[in-house]
């Protein structure tokens, strides 16, 4: 990951050919897709400039306006390259207008393996930025997107990458697209940002239990969700209306299917796996607490023996024992990392929210079916 940050920093030079008079260019992310469902890797870019004018840098992003074409591109990217639990990622382009972030374009990041030694990530992204600028398309960096597998996106990789974005571009966001939930009948596309408290912790790199406690960081205030508004032109709205009129009735009735298929079962399985990870972290922390307590007892006993020895030497007229560095004799045990535990708790909370939404929809269908059945009888 360090190599990626170095390579991304290399494109921060003024020689970028995609700069405009109003704002300087911003390098694109260097995402690396992953094939496992639980950890969700994310790009680790180091953009150099914000996409907004100087007078809007301090304004927070309260709303995200995304073009419908961008949503279709993200969905198409997953359908073409995402298979099963594979994660696809890409770059978001747009601009900032007051407190609204407008996402007007995006482009995918190609999947490649470690064997592709000739593939230059930085060069690819810079070429894409130049090409978009030549055809007069918004090419300013505003964030990145990735797909997720049953909501498994809360990870250290995502946190580190989003911190790199927000540290360089204050208004940047990450869009998370869930194709599994979208297949259930509703589009699942959410935007997240790191909270100011978590940004301060990441800047100081103080992930100790004391540092997190001092900053009052919990899993519930690590990420903040930004509301999304999808904008379409009038022609696209007319086209969608015509497609809705031409859609088959059987396709609409599939949304009333009472079976939960394997969606609920898979979500519960992933939830149990994360709960097991949480249990292991709790065992590690309890072991650390016991070791600290045991060391404190040993330190106290040593000081008592030393005090008794000095008292006896004083009665015999002998000089006291030489001073010793207690901290070197009793080195405190290394505390386990707490940030990973918070991320696991955040992922568990995400699973619970998804299960709650899914079960509430199914219960609503069952009550409706019961009412219809009673009406027919």
- The answer to whether residues 127 and 16 touch, using CB atoms and an 8 Å cutoff, is no
Taking the C-alpha atoms of residue 198 and residue 161, their distance in angstroms, rounded to an integer, is 13
Q: Say which DSSP state 198 is in.
A: H
> What pTM does this model have?
0.70
Can you give the pLDDT at residue 53?
Answer: 38
Q: Report pLDDT digits (tens) over 70-82.
A: 999 999 999 888 7
Taking the C-alpha atoms of residue 228 and residue 230, their distance in angstroms, rounded to an integer, is 7
Can you give the pLDDT at residue 4?
Answer: 40
DSSP β-ladder status, 223-226 and 89-97:
unpaired
Tokens 């001092």 belong to residue: 214
- Please report the DSSP string for 13-44 in residue order: STT-TT--SSS---PPP-----S-SSS-----
Can you give the pLDDT at residue 197?
Answer: 87
Can you give the pLDDT at residue 48?
Answer: 39
Can you give the pLDDT at residue 111?
Answer: 73
Can you give the pLDDT at residue 332?
Answer: 82
Nearest to 46 by CA among 14, 106, 6: 6
Can you give the pLDDT at residue 259?
Answer: 63
Handedness of CA 261, 266, 269, 274 (dihedral sign): negative
Q: Where in 118-254 does DSSP place strands (E)? A: 141-147, 173-177, 189-194, 223-226, 228-231
Q: Report pLDDT digits (tens) over 120-156.
A: 666 776 777 777 777 767 768 888 999 998 888 888 8
Give the phi and the psi of residue 189 in degrees, each rounded to 5: -140, 115
Can you give the pLDDT at residue 44?
Answer: 44
Cβ-proximal residues to 302 (8 Å cutoff; 6+ apart), any chain: 326, 329, 330
Q: With 0-12 CB in 10 A as exposed, 13-18 as middle and 19+ as buried, what is 156?
A: middle
Tell me which residues of the chain have a pLDDT lower than 50: 1-42, 44, 46-59
Can you give the pLDDT at residue 190?
Answer: 92
């Amino acid at each position: 990951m360090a190599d990626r940050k170095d390579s991304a920093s290399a494109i921060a030079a003024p020689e970028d050919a995609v700069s405009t008079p109003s704002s300087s260019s911003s390098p694109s992310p260097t995402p690396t897709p992953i094939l496992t469902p639980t950890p969700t890797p994310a790009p680790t870019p180091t953009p150099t400039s914000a996409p907004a004018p100087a007078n809007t840098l301090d304004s927070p992003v309260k709303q995200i306006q995304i073009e419908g074409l961008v949503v279709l591109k993200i969905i198409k990217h997953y359908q073409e390259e995402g298979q099963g639990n594979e994660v696809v990622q890409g770059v978001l382009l747009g601009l900032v207008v007051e407190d609204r972030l407008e996402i007007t374009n995006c482009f995918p990041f190609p999947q490649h393996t470690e064997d592709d030694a000739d593939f230059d990530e930085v060069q690819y992204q810079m070429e894409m930025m130049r090409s978009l600028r030549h055809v007069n398309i918004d090419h300013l960096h505003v964030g990145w997107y990735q797909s997720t597998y049953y909501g498994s996106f809360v990870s250290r990789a995502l946190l580190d990458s989003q911190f790199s974005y927000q540290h360089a571009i204050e208004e940047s966001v990450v869009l998370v697209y869930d194709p599994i939930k979208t297949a259930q009948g509703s589009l699942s596309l959410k935007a997240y940002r790191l909270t100011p408290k978590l940004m301060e912790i990441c800047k100081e790199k103080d992930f100790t239990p004391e540092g997190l406690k001092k900053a009052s960081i919990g899993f519930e205030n690590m990420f903040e969700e930004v509301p999304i508004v999808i904008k379409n032109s009038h022609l696209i709205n007319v086209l969608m209306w015509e497609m809705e009129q031409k859609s088959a009735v059987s396709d609409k009735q599939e949304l009333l299917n009472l079976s939960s298929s394997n969606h609920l079962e898979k979500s519960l399985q992933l939830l149990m796996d994360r709960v097991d990870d949480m249990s292991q972290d709790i065992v590690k922390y309890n072991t650390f607490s016991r070791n600290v307590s045991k060391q404190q007892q040993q330190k106290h006993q040593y000081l008592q023996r030393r005090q008794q020895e000095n008292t006896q030497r004083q009665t015999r007229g002998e000089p006291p024992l030489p001073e010793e560095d207690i901290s070197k004799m009793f080195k405190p045990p290394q505390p386990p990392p707490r940030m990973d535990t918070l991320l696991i708790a955040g992922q568990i909370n995400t699973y619970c929210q998804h299960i709650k939404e899914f079960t509430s929809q199914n219960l609503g269908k069952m009550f409706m079916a019961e009412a219809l059945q009673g009406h027919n009888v």
